[in-house]
Amino acid sequence: MSTSDQPRLAHVGVAVADLEQALAFYREVLGVTPRPAETADGATIVALPFGESDIELLAPHNPDSPVARFLARRGPGIHHLCYRVPDLDAALAGCRKAGYRLVDDTPRRGAGGRAAAVALFGATLALGPALAQDPISRVIGDGGAEWWRSQL
Protein backbone atom coordinates (compact mmCIF):
# COMPACT_ATOMS: atom_id res chain seq x y z
CA MET A 1 0.00 0.00 0.00
CA SER A 2 1.48 3.35 -1.02
CA THR A 3 1.52 6.40 1.23
CA SER A 4 -1.23 8.03 -0.88
CA ASP A 5 -3.49 5.04 -0.17
CA GLN A 6 -3.23 5.59 3.59
CA PRO A 7 -5.09 8.17 5.66
CA ARG A 8 -2.86 11.05 6.70
CA LEU A 9 -3.14 14.42 8.36
CA ALA A 10 -4.18 17.03 5.78
CA HIS A 11 -4.28 20.05 8.08
CA VAL A 12 -4.92 21.41 11.54
CA GLY A 13 -7.59 24.13 11.53
CA VAL A 14 -6.84 26.89 14.06
CA ALA A 15 -9.49 29.50 14.90
CA VAL A 16 -8.06 33.00 15.33
CA ALA A 17 -9.69 36.35 16.07
CA ASP A 18 -6.97 38.42 14.37
CA LEU A 19 -5.61 36.83 11.21
CA GLU A 20 -2.76 39.30 10.67
CA GLN A 21 -1.55 38.95 14.24
CA ALA A 22 -1.59 35.16 13.94
CA LEU A 23 0.19 35.25 10.56
CA ALA A 24 2.97 37.42 12.00
CA PHE A 25 4.27 34.53 14.12
CA TYR A 26 4.46 32.14 11.16
CA ARG A 27 6.03 34.72 8.82
CA GLU A 28 8.42 36.48 11.19
CA VAL A 29 9.44 33.75 13.61
CA LEU A 30 9.17 30.57 11.53
CA GLY A 31 9.74 32.06 8.09
CA VAL A 32 6.71 30.29 6.61
CA THR A 33 5.15 31.80 3.49
CA PRO A 34 1.35 31.57 3.62
CA ARG A 35 -0.67 30.47 0.63
CA PRO A 36 -3.24 32.91 -0.79
CA ALA A 37 -6.31 33.44 1.41
CA GLU A 38 -9.54 31.60 0.56
CA THR A 39 -13.09 31.99 1.81
CA ALA A 40 -15.32 29.12 2.99
CA ASP A 41 -18.07 28.71 5.60
CA GLY A 42 -18.04 32.40 6.52
CA ALA A 43 -14.33 32.50 7.28
CA THR A 44 -11.08 33.59 5.69
CA ILE A 45 -8.74 30.60 5.54
CA VAL A 46 -4.98 30.95 5.14
CA ALA A 47 -2.97 27.76 4.74
CA LEU A 48 0.61 27.53 5.97
CA PRO A 49 2.61 24.60 4.55
CA PHE A 50 4.43 22.29 6.94
CA GLY A 51 5.68 19.38 4.86
CA GLU A 52 2.79 17.15 3.79
CA SER A 53 0.39 18.86 6.21
CA ASP A 54 -0.78 22.43 6.66
CA ILE A 55 -1.84 24.69 9.46
CA GLU A 56 -5.01 26.50 8.36
CA LEU A 57 -5.77 29.75 10.17
CA LEU A 58 -9.52 30.40 10.28
CA ALA A 59 -10.77 33.95 10.88
CA PRO A 60 -14.52 34.70 10.91
CA HIS A 61 -16.21 37.16 8.57
CA ASN A 62 -19.27 37.73 10.73
CA PRO A 63 -20.56 36.86 14.23
CA ASP A 64 -22.90 34.15 12.90
CA SER A 65 -20.19 32.06 11.24
CA PRO A 66 -19.13 28.70 12.67
CA VAL A 67 -15.65 30.00 13.48
CA ALA A 68 -17.04 33.10 15.23
CA ARG A 69 -19.28 30.91 17.41
CA PHE A 70 -16.33 28.66 18.20
CA LEU A 71 -14.22 31.66 19.24
CA ALA A 72 -17.05 33.03 21.40
CA ARG A 73 -17.48 29.69 23.20
CA ARG A 74 -13.90 28.45 23.44
CA GLY A 75 -11.52 31.23 22.43
CA PRO A 76 -8.69 30.92 19.91
CA GLY A 77 -7.17 27.50 19.35
CA ILE A 78 -7.41 24.23 17.49
CA HIS A 79 -10.78 24.03 15.77
CA HIS A 80 -10.43 20.75 13.89
CA LEU A 81 -8.13 18.12 12.43
CA CYS A 82 -8.63 17.17 8.81
CA TYR A 83 -7.61 13.71 7.67
CA ARG A 84 -6.90 13.13 3.98
CA VAL A 85 -8.37 9.79 2.93
CA PRO A 86 -8.03 7.94 -0.38
CA ASP A 87 -11.80 7.34 -0.65
CA LEU A 88 -14.02 9.92 1.04
CA ASP A 89 -17.26 8.06 0.32
CA ALA A 90 -15.87 4.90 1.95
CA ALA A 91 -14.67 6.90 4.97
CA LEU A 92 -18.12 8.48 5.38
CA ALA A 93 -19.73 5.04 5.11
CA GLY A 94 -17.36 3.82 7.84
CA CYS A 95 -18.37 6.76 10.06
CA ARG A 96 -22.06 5.98 9.54
CA LYS A 97 -21.52 2.28 10.27
CA ALA A 98 -19.63 3.15 13.48
CA GLY A 99 -22.51 5.37 14.59
CA TYR A 100 -20.80 8.77 14.25
CA ARG A 101 -22.96 11.75 13.37
CA LEU A 102 -22.09 13.41 10.11
CA VAL A 103 -22.47 17.12 9.58
CA ASP A 104 -22.19 16.55 5.84
CA ASP A 105 -24.14 13.54 4.53
CA THR A 106 -22.45 14.02 1.19
CA PRO A 107 -19.09 15.63 0.41
CA ARG A 108 -19.02 19.36 -0.28
CA ARG A 109 -16.42 21.67 -1.73
CA GLY A 110 -13.95 22.69 0.96
CA ALA A 111 -10.91 24.97 0.98
CA GLY A 112 -8.59 24.37 -1.95
CA GLY A 113 -11.49 22.94 -3.96
CA ARG A 114 -11.14 19.57 -2.25
CA ALA A 115 -14.07 17.30 -1.53
CA ALA A 116 -14.67 17.52 2.22
CA ALA A 117 -17.06 16.37 4.91
CA VAL A 118 -17.28 16.88 8.67
CA ALA A 119 -18.04 14.21 11.26
CA LEU A 120 -18.82 14.73 14.94
CA PHE A 121 -17.29 12.18 17.26
CA GLY A 122 -18.81 13.62 20.42
CA ALA A 123 -17.10 12.56 23.61
CA THR A 124 -14.58 10.33 21.83
CA LEU A 125 -12.54 13.32 20.63
CA ALA A 126 -12.30 16.87 21.89
CA LEU A 127 -11.91 18.20 18.33
CA GLY A 128 -14.27 18.24 15.38
CA PRO A 129 -12.57 16.07 12.76
CA ALA A 130 -13.01 16.64 9.05
CA LEU A 131 -12.26 14.31 6.16
CA ALA A 132 -10.97 15.32 2.72
CA GLN A 133 -10.14 13.61 -0.54
CA ASP A 134 -7.48 14.88 -2.92
CA PRO A 135 -7.70 15.18 -5.86
CA ILE A 136 -11.38 15.74 -6.54
CA SER A 137 -12.70 13.04 -8.81
CA ARG A 138 -16.14 14.60 -9.29
CA VAL A 139 -17.91 17.93 -8.98
CA ILE A 140 -19.00 18.63 -5.41
CA GLY A 141 -21.80 21.08 -4.64
CA ASP A 142 -21.90 23.49 -1.72
CA GLY A 143 -23.93 21.13 0.48
CA GLY A 144 -25.10 22.70 3.72
CA ALA A 145 -23.94 21.97 7.21
CA GLU A 146 -26.47 24.05 9.13
CA TRP A 147 -26.67 21.73 12.13
CA TRP A 148 -22.87 21.76 12.55
CA ARG A 149 -22.79 25.51 12.22
CA SER A 150 -25.41 25.84 14.95
CA GLN A 151 -23.28 23.68 17.28
CA LEU A 152 -20.14 25.79 17.03
pLDDT in tens, 99-120: 877 877 777 777 777 777 777 6
Contacts of 73 (CB under 8 A, 6+ apart): 152
Query: What is the pLDDT, as a whole number, of residue 35?
Result: 96
Q: Which CATH superfamily is domain 10-151 in?
A: 2,3-Dihydroxybiphenyl 1,2-Dioxygenase, domain 1 (3.10.180.10)
Query: What is the pLDDT, as a whole number, of residue 49?
Result: 96
Query: What is the pLDDT, as a whole number, of residue 33?
Result: 97
Residue ranges in the chain modelled with pLDDT below 50: 1, 123-127, 135-152
Contacts of 45 (CB under 8 A, 6+ apart): 37, 38, 39, 56, 57, 58, 111
Beta strand 77-84 pairing with 130-133: parallel
Q: Are 64 and 42 in contact (CB under 8 A)?
A: yes
Query: What is the pLDDT, as a whole number, of residue 69?
Result: 92
